[in-house]
Amino acid sequence: MSKFVEDKGYNEDQLKVLSLLKGDEEVCLMAAPSFVVDFDYDSFVPLMKGLGFEYTTELTFGAKIVNQEYHRYIHENKDNQEKFICSVCPACVELVKAKYPEMEKYLLPFDSPMSAMAKVIDKNWPNQKNVFLAPCFAKKREAKKYPNLIHATITFSELKDIVSKEKPTPLKGSHLFDRFYNDYTKIYPLAGGLSATLHSKDILTKEEMVAKDGVKNLQKLFDKHSDKKFYDILFCNGGCIGGPGVASNKPIFVKRKRILSYRKGAKTEKIGKRKGLDKYTEGLDFSTEF
């Protein structure tokens, strides 16, 4: 790979990532699970290792943690709280706070999968730098809340640009992520993915739940004072697969298919220990304020 040169039209975030990769410390890439919309799963990890990342992981374990926290909180509070609004999408949190302040108290007070995962990585492998690969700019803003855990953030488009300019040679070896897997939450970035993986039968009825994506639909939902109890909301059309940091212009149904096939394929892989990961979260606090 060529030496990184600062005159290739890179923006500040791209330069930050490249400078981390050039530095002495090990760098871990944390990929949002929607990355398969823009990257080929089988070649992604070798390509990232060729670019200089020592470790690669994705956020599905973080999504599982968020689900567990949501489930517990709703179970404990369902009789005395009117509504619960998912807070995994920072643009939705911003929307609620700005346009529906009377609903702010219903935002579920927990980390997103990104920040939960950053805490897990920091606890278990503290001496490294972490780069988050994001589908949107709202996630970049959210990551700035954790400057000691997430040291740089780039979008899928920005990473594709780096790859096309630096032309890394893929490192020979496994195509599997290094750390933390969870299969069922691989559909988290899809509209309705969170409610589909919440195991909500014992805490909510189907009628009490609503899943909506796209800002116009969200506004309609809140403007008509919906009487639903649980709101699984994502700001972008189709969910994170429609994020503004995604490079692909393919239709949502094509992107959706890629996520579903990623999940299906991952189920058949021998990826080592999937159970017992809870020990990695011991002592961590995933609650937050907005």
Nearer to ligand SF4, 21 or 91 (CB): 91
Q: Which residues of 185-206 are buried (b: 16+ CB within 10 A; e: fewer)?
A: bbbbbbbbbbbbbbebeebbee
Nearer to ligand SF4, 139 or 263 (CB): 139
Give the binding range for ligand SF4 (CB under 6 A) out of 20-28, 238-246, 254-262, 274-282.
Answer: 238-246
Provide the β-strand partners of residue 211: 232
Minimum distance from residue 249 beta carbon to ligand SF4 (Å)? 15
* Phi, psi for residue 226 in degrees, rounded to 5: -50, 145
Output the CA torsion sign for 87, 155, 22, 46: positive
Within 214-251, strands assigned E span 230-234
Count of residues of this chain found to bind ligand SF4 when the rule CB under 6 A is applied: 12
Tell me: does residue 33 bind ligand SF4 (CB under 6 A).
no
Tell me: does residue 121 bind ligand SF4 (CB under 6 A).
no
Tell me: does residue 243 bind ligand SF4 (CB under 6 A).
yes
Alpha-carbon span 165 to 159, nearest angstrom: 10
Tell me: does residue 91 bind ligand SF4 (CB under 6 A).
yes
Q: Which of residues 191-230 bind ligand SF4 (CB under 6 A)?
A: none
Residue 169, both tokens: 């040679």
Query: What is the 8-class DSSP label of residue 209?
Result: E
Q: Which of 96, 143, 209, 236 binds ligand SF4 (CB under 6 A)?
A: 236
Residue 247, both tokens: 């490079």
Tell me: does residue 52 bind ligand SF4 (CB under 6 A).
no
Q: Which of 27, 116, 234, 266 binds ligand SF4 (CB under 6 A)?
A: 234
Alpha-carbon span 218 to 211, nearest angstrom: 9
Q: Which of residues 263-282 bind ligand SF4 (CB under 6 A)?
A: none
Tell me: does residue 240 bind ligand SF4 (CB under 6 A).
yes
Nearer to ligand SF4, 91 or 131 (CB): 91
Residue 56, both tokens: 């690669």
Helix (H) or strand (E) holding 57: strand 55-58
Alpha-carbon span 18 to 164, nearest angstrom: 14
Residue 111, both tokens: 């980390």
Minimum distance from residue 207 beta carbon to ligand SF4 (Å)? 25
Tell me: does residue 235 bind ligand SF4 (CB under 6 A).
yes
Q: Nearest-CB residue to ligand SF4?
A: 243
Contacts of 219 (CB under 8 A, 6+ apart): 95, 99
Q: Which of residues 129-148 bind ligand SF4 (CB under 6 A)?
A: 135-136, 138-139
Alpha-carbon span 204 to 44, nearest angstrom: 38
* Phi, psi for residue 255 in degrees, rounded to 5: -65, -40
Give the binding range for ligand SF4 (CB under 6 A) out of 123-131, 145-153, 176-184, 232-240.
Answer: 232-240
Q: Which of 20, 239, 256, 281 binds ligand SF4 (CB under 6 A)?
A: 239
Nearer to ligand SF4, 50 or 239 (CB): 239
The residue ranges that bind ligand SF4 (CB under 6 A) are 89, 91, 135-136, 138-139, 234-236, 239-240, 243
